[in-house]
Amino acid sequence: MPSLPASTAAAIARARENAINRGGDADEICPVCKSSRYLNPNMRFLVNPECYHKMCESCVDRLFSQGPSQCPVVGCDKILRKQRFRKQTFEDIQVEKEVDVRKRIAKTLVTPSGSSTCCEGAIADGCAMDSFNKRQEDFPSLKEFNDYLEEVETVTFNLLNSVDINATEAKITAFEQSNKSSILQNAAKAAQEQQFALAQREFEKEHHRRTRELENEIEAEEKREKAEHKANLLKALEAENPDAEVAKVNKLARKKSSMRREHQERRARELEAAKNAPAFQFMANLNRVAEEPPQEKYDPVDGFDETTRYFMYRDRYESPWLDDTRNNKTVLAGGYLLQQYYERAVFEAFSGVGCFIEDPAAEGQDAAAPLNSFDTPMIDTI
Amino acid sequence: MEDQLYTTTTQCQTWSFGPSTLSTLRATTNAAGVRSIKRGWKRARVEASAANTPLATTPIPSTASNTPTPAPDPASIPDPETLTPSEELTLVNYYMLRLMAMSDIFSFPSSVKATACVFLSRFHLHHSVHSYHPKHLLTTILFLATKTENNYLSTAEFCKRIPKLTPEAVLKYEFKVAGGIGWDFEIRHPLRGADGGIMELLTALGSNSADPGLQVLKEKLGQNQSRRVTDAAGRMKGYLTKEALVSDVYYHYTPPQIFLGALWLADKELAEAYIEWRFGENSLMGRPLKKKKKEKKGKEKNVEDEAAAAEASKPPALAPKLIPVVAACAEMMLKAQEYEKISVDVLKRIDKKLHRCQNPQKFLGAGSPIGIGNDAPAKKAAEEAPPPEKKRKTEEDLFGGALR
């Protein structure tokens, strides 16, 4: 049938056209040699971080095997090398580019564990030595830290969008020069932390394993004991005095199981102690600045107690003006306690009776000028 | 413990003064107020002389004379006579009485009334009437007091009862007043304490305890004791809700002393006997008489010893010191009654003086009113407002200020 191949060829041509025109299905067609994935299912695309123009593997082989050469894309005069070609990680080339830039900036500007954006977090694992890696602790206040982060973002943006490339590059170099020592320090710190985290994870894993082992052991032992008990019972029933024998067997089993439980508990305790003891000591000491002074015993009532000097509470007081309230169900239903009113009133009757205020000498001069502490100033008309 | 708790209150810590300290404070405040008036007039005079160029001979809109008299030379008008501290106090006390009357319109409980009065008094302790005329603050203070004393009322409801009052007017100075009293809203009134004291006295009189002090008290009161106490309590309450507030006793005495002072005024004999009973030499301080000695001999010897030890280390009796204090307090309250008798003429004269002080524009033809409530110039507010706004913006901006 002649019509089928013709229509297939037309379809391919159309697909190719569409892909090239729209750029949306560019995934399917190499922009350099125009060969399509339809015909070559194993086609892989590579990019070079120099200009991020995409081309297929065979094109790269063809063009750059002989050494560095110009990018085949029209209008791009970058010289590319074969070894720097790599597989594209992200579909969007813009994202790919940004990740690269951020990776570079992270080496210079950003703290690896600061994790202000997800991109940094993603690439932080890879970089062993980063240099623009200030932390919040390095700045006197949050505002300064934020300013620093914003500057980092500005540099990133400039690199991404080719704004002031030269000035930005100069800035980065200058920063690197001036902060060499602190960059190294921060990198070392980050590495150390990573190491600690790793050790901690290891330790936890080990602990889990041992706990599980213990549990398994306990289970097995229980099972074995049960079986043994059963066998003993059967044997006891066969004996001539079954009742006494059975009682004996039961007693033995109880004793055994209690012993076993004790043993297990001790082991579990040991395990728990091990968890809190050795490997974690260095973690505990890691960020401690200085020995804290022993805390004073906290007194929630600030030294006050319920002793009264001038009076003693009674259960009931003679108060003619409260007689209505005492029997008023609407008031009492709401939870009004006359007793509390009594206590409050009687307390207030004597609270401060022994304080004598008018001692001008004792008051001193400072009492005369508390004006400064007031929020509403005297109006000053000028 | 009771005294210790009172000493932690702001009323004791920041609002208690000896008499001389209080008068110094008032003099200082008055001096500050006078200074601000002087400055305001000086500025007004400068403005007036600038405006009095031959071109601008705009006469002052005077209601007295219709003939366009040429504006008097601003330099020839002397500075107004300012108020003395005692005149200020008189004015504040007068407005305190007005405040009480206003509270009675709403029939607020006495605690609201008392709190409002104390607020007014405390506010003017640090803020001269030269700058803050009390008449503009009355409703604000009363409304603040209702909130402080858990007597809620919406502003709309509040304004309904007083003609020509708007919620804006009530709330306009609320922040100023609250700041002016140092945010110390809780006032320790003697009112509830007085209830407690009377309650205890009545209960003691009703019981047949063998307390010798109580026997003495009963003897002194004669027949119909509880009747006498109740009558005295009624009169005492009257003193507490009026004289105690208008006078300075809240600054000089503690609530129990004020309540005893009021009781003193109501029934001197009763108060004296009461103090002797409660705080005298052999007072039991309201505890039941110990009868252990005969009933439980050997059993609780330890307890007895402890009690004896406590007896020995007991502080000296309070009564000798307390009685003169209470008497002085009572006298001070009695003096306050004179404020009610101050004639309207005197008050009018003071207010006129204050009016002249605060409104230089009416006498000089230029300048702006001094103090709040006189429609302080909007210009000044406009000048002042932007900078803090700008500052706040940079501080609170989500992304911080501009990069340095």
Contacts of B311 (CB under 8 A, 6+ apart): none
Report the residue of chain A nearest B12, measured CA to CA: A357
Report the residue of chain A nearest B203, measured CA to CA: A318
ipTM for this prediction: 0.76
Check B226 against A382: CB less than 8 A apart.
no
pLDDT at A133: 67
Chain centroid offset of residue B35 CA: 24
Of B14, B177, B197, the CB nearest to A349: B197
Of B4, B199, B288, the CB nearest to A318: B199
pLDDT at A212: 92
**How many Cβ atoms sit within 10 Å of the Cβ of residue A233?**
16
The answer to whether residues A112 and A130 touch, using CB atoms and an 8 Å cutoff, is yes
CA distances from A178 to A168, A175, A181, B1 (A): 15, 5, 8, 65
Q: Rounded CA gap, B202 and B224, in Å?
A: 12
> Which tokens is B265 given?
């005024």
User: Tell me: the pLDDT tens digits for A238-281?
Assistant: 877 878 888 888 888 888 888 888 888 888 888 877 776 555 55
Q: Which residue has the higher pLDDT, A42 or B138?
A: B138
Q: Rounded CA gap, A103 and A89, in Å?
A: 14
Report the residue of chain A nearest B7, measured CA to CA: A352
Check A310 against B180: CB less than 8 A apart.
no
Burial B357-367 (b: 16+ CB within 10 A, else e): bbbbbebbbbb
**How many Cβ atoms sit within 10 Å of the Cβ of residue A72?**
17
Check A374 against B18: CB less than 8 A apart.
no
A336 in contact with chain B, both atoms CB, cutoff 8 A: no
- What is the dihedral angle through the alpha carbons of B393, B394, B395, B396, rounded to the nearest 10 degrees? 50
SS3 state at A123: helix
A90 in contact with chain B, both atoms CB, cutoff 8 A: no
Residues of B in contact with A375 (CB under 8 A): 178-180, 182-183
Residues of B in contact with A355 (CB under 8 A): 3, 6-7, 12, 254
The answer to whether residues A74 and A83 touch, using CB atoms and an 8 Å cutoff, is no
User: Tell me: the pLDDT tens digits for B119-143?
Assistant: 999 999 988 888 888 888 999 999 9
Q: Is the pLDDT of residue B70 over 60?
A: no
pLDDT at A287: 55
Give the CB-side neighbour count of residue A349, counting CA atoms within 13 A: 26
Range A54-61 contact pairs with CB under 8 angstroms and sequence separation of 24 or more: A54/A26, A54/A30, A54/A88, A54/A93, A55/A30, A55/A31, A56/A30, A56/A32, A58/A33, A59/A30, A59/A32, A59/A33, A60/A85
Tell me the mean pLDDT in the region B65-80. 59
Report the residue of chain A nearest B24, measured CA to CA: A368
HEC assignment per residue over chain B: CHHHHHHCCHHHHCCCCCHHHHHHHHHHHHHHHHHHHHHHHHHHHHHHHHHCCCCCCCCCCCCCCCCCCCCCCHHHCCCCCCCCHHHHHHHHHHHHHHHHHHHHHHCCCHHHHHHHHHHHHHHHHHCCCCCCCHHHCHHHHHHHHHHHCCCCCCHHHHHHCCCCCCHHHHHHCHHHHHHHCCCCCCCCCHHHHHHHHHHHHHHHHHCCCCCHHHHHHHHHHCCCHHHHHHHHHHHHHHHHCCHHHHCCHHHHCCHHHHHHHHHHHHCHHHHHHHHHHHHCCCCCCCCCCCCHHHHCCCCCHHHHHHHHHHHHCCCCCCHHHHHHHHHHHHHHHHHHCHHHHCCHHHHHHHHHHHHHHHCHHHHHCCCCCCCCCCCCCHHHHHHHCHHHHHHHHHHHCCCCCCCC
User: Tell me: the pLDDT tens digits for A311-322?
Assistant: 888 888 888 888
Mean pLDDT of chain A: 76
Q: What is the DSSP string of A168-202?
A: HHHHHHHHHHHTHHHHHHHHHHHHHHHHHHHHHHH
Q: Is the pLDDT of residue B144 over 90?
A: yes
DSSP run (H or E) holding A233:
helix A180-238
Q: Rounded CA gap, B156 and B167, in Å?
A: 6
Q: Which residue has the higher pLDDT, B63 or A128?
A: B63
In the structure, what pLDDT confidence band is assigned to residue B101 with cuts at 50, 70 and 90? very high
Q: Please report the residues numbered 282 through 321 in chain A whose beta carbons come closer than 8 angstroms to any beta carbon of chain B.
A: 304-312, 314, 316-321
A140 in contact with chain B, both atoms CB, cutoff 8 A: no
- One-letter identity of residue B104: D
pLDDT at B100: 93
Q: Is the pLDDT of residue B291 over 90?
A: no
pLDDT at B120: 94
Q: Rounded CA gap, A14 and A25, in Å?
A: 12
Q: Provide the percentage of residues in chain A whose pLDDT is more than 90.
A: 4
Q: Rounded CA gap, A56 and A46, in Å?
A: 6
User: Tell me: the pLDDT tens digits for B298-340?
Assistant: 444 454 555 555 555 556 778 888 899 999 999 999 988 888 8
Instruction: Name the DSSP class of A73.
Output: S
Of B3, B43, B38, nearest to B367 (Cα)?
B43
pLDDT at B146: 94
Q: Which residue has the higher pLDDT, A131 or A317?
A: A317
Q: Is the pLDDT of residue A229 over 70?
A: yes
Of B20, B285, B400, the CB nearest to A147: B400
Q: Rounded CA gap, B133 and B124, in Å?
A: 9
B189 has which bridge partners? none
Q: Hey, which of A117-131, A277-291, A353-367, B114-128 has the most confident mean pLDDT? A: B114-128
Please count the residue pairs, one from chain A and one from chain B, whose beta carbons lie less than 8 angstroms apart.
206
Report the residue of chain A nearest B194, measured CA to CA: A349
Report the residue of chain A nearest B206, measured CA to CA: A318
SS3 state at A79: strand
CA distances from A337 to A319, A326, A351, B148 (A): 14, 9, 21, 22
pLDDT at B74: 63
Q: Rounded CA gap, B90 and B340, in Å?
A: 10
pLDDT at B57: 46
Residues of B in contact with A381 (CB under 8 A): 36, 39-40, 43, 368, 370-371
Tell me the mean pLDDT in the region B346-352. 90
